[in-house]
Structure 1
Amino acid sequence: MGWWDRKPEERARWVLDPLVAVGPLRFGMDHDEVKAALDGEWTGGGQRAADGWRWTPYDGDCVIAVYDQDGHLVAVKINAKGGPFVRLDDVELIGRVPSEARAEILGLAARRGAAMGTNRIGDPQITAWGISMPTEQEWGRLPEGHVMRKDAVITSALFTAPRVADDTAASVIEGHDVRDLVANQGAWPVTPDSERPRWDWPPLEHVGPLRFGMSPPQVTAALGGETPDGRTGAFPFWFWKESGQWSLHTDHFERAGVTAQYWYPDGVPELGAVTVHGRTRPQLHYEGTPLVGITPSILEAAIIQHVEDHDLGLRFGPSGAAVPDGPNLYLDTARAEDSSVSEPTFCAKEWQI
Structure 2
Amino acid sequence: MWWSRKPDGERARWVLRPLVGVGPLLFGMSPGEVRTVLGGAAVSASRSWAGRLSWQRYRDVGVTAIYGVDERLAAVAVDALTGPLVRLGDVGLIARVPSEVRADVHELARRDGESVRANWSGDPEVAAWGLSMGAAREQKDAMLTEALLVGPGPADDPYGTEPVIRWRDVRGWEKNPGAWPVAAEEDRPRWDWTPLVGVGPLRFGMRPDQVMAALDGEAPAVRRGQPRAPKIGAGEWRLEGERFEEAGVATHYSYLKGAPTLAAVTVLGRTGPQVEFEGIRLIGRTVSTLEAALVRHLEDRGIDVVVGCGEDLELDGLGLYVRAVRAGDTVISEARFCEAEWEDHG
- CA displacement at 1:268 relative to structure 2: 4.2
- CA displacement at 1:233 relative to structure 2: 3.5
CA contact (8 A) 1:14 1:84 kept: yes
Q: Which residue number in structure 1 is paired with residue 268 of structure 2?
A: 277
Q: Which residue number in structure 2 is paired with residue 172 of structure 1?
A: 166
> Which is further off, 300-309 or 2-11?
2-11
SS at match of 2:288: helix
> Which is further off, 60-69 or 71-80?
60-69
- CA displacement at 1:264 relative to structure 2: 3.6
- CA displacement at 1:338 relative to structure 2: 1.6
TM-score by length of 1: 0.85
Displaced runs of 4 or more, over 6 A = 49-53
Q: Which residue number in structure 2 is paired with residue 193 of structure 1?
A: 185
1:68-83 to 2 correspondences below 5 Å: 68-83=68-83
Unaligned runs of 5+ in 1: 140-148, 238-242
SS at match of 1:179: coil
- For the pair 1:37 / 2:37, whether they are aligned, the reply is yes
Q: Which residue number in structure 1 is paired with residue 147 of structure 2?
A: 157
- For the pair 1:328 / 2:319, whether they are aligned, the reply is yes
Q: Which residue number in structure 2 is paired with residue 27 of structure 1?
A: 27
SS at match of 2:205: coil
TM-score by length of 2: 0.86
- For the pair 1:183 / 2:198, whether they are aligned, the reply is no
Q: Which residue number in structure 2 is paired with residue 341 of structure 1?
A: 332
* Greater Rg over alpha carbons, structure: 2
User: Structure 1 CA distance, aligned partners of 2:189 and 2:128?
Assistant: 43
> Which is further off, 123-132 or 70-79?
70-79
SS at match of 1:104: helix
Q: Which residue number in structure 2 is paired with residue 210 of structure 1?
A: 202
Report how many residues are paired. Answer: 336
Encode CA deviations 1:53-90: one digit per residue, 9 max, x unaligned. Answer: 83432224832232233323222222111111111111
User: Structure 1 CA distance, aligned partners of 2:12 and 2:242?
Assistant: 39
> Which is further off, 336-345 or 88-97?
336-345
> Which is further off, 43-52 or 268-277?
43-52
Q: How much is the aligned-residue C-alpha RMSD, in angstroms? A: 2.8
1:123-272 to 2 correspondences below 5 Å: 123-139=123-139, 149=140, 151-164=141-154, 165-168=157-160, 171-174=165-168, 176=169, 178-234=170-226, 246-265=237-256, 268-272=259-263
Unaligned runs of 5+ in 2: none
CA contact (8 A) 1:300 1:321 kept: no
CA contact (8 A) 1:182 1:229 kept: no
CA contact (8 A) 1:96 1:155 kept: yes
User: Structure 2 CA distance, aligned partners of 1:269 and 1:171?
Assistant: 27
Change (3 A) 1:69 1:272: farther
SS at match of 1:103: helix
Q: Which amino acid aligns with 1:108?
A: L
Encode CA deviations 1:248-279: one digit per residue, 9 max, x unaligned. Answer: 33322211111222344355444332222111
Q: Which residue number in structure 2 is paired with residue 91 of structure 1?
A: 91
SS at match of 1:305: helix
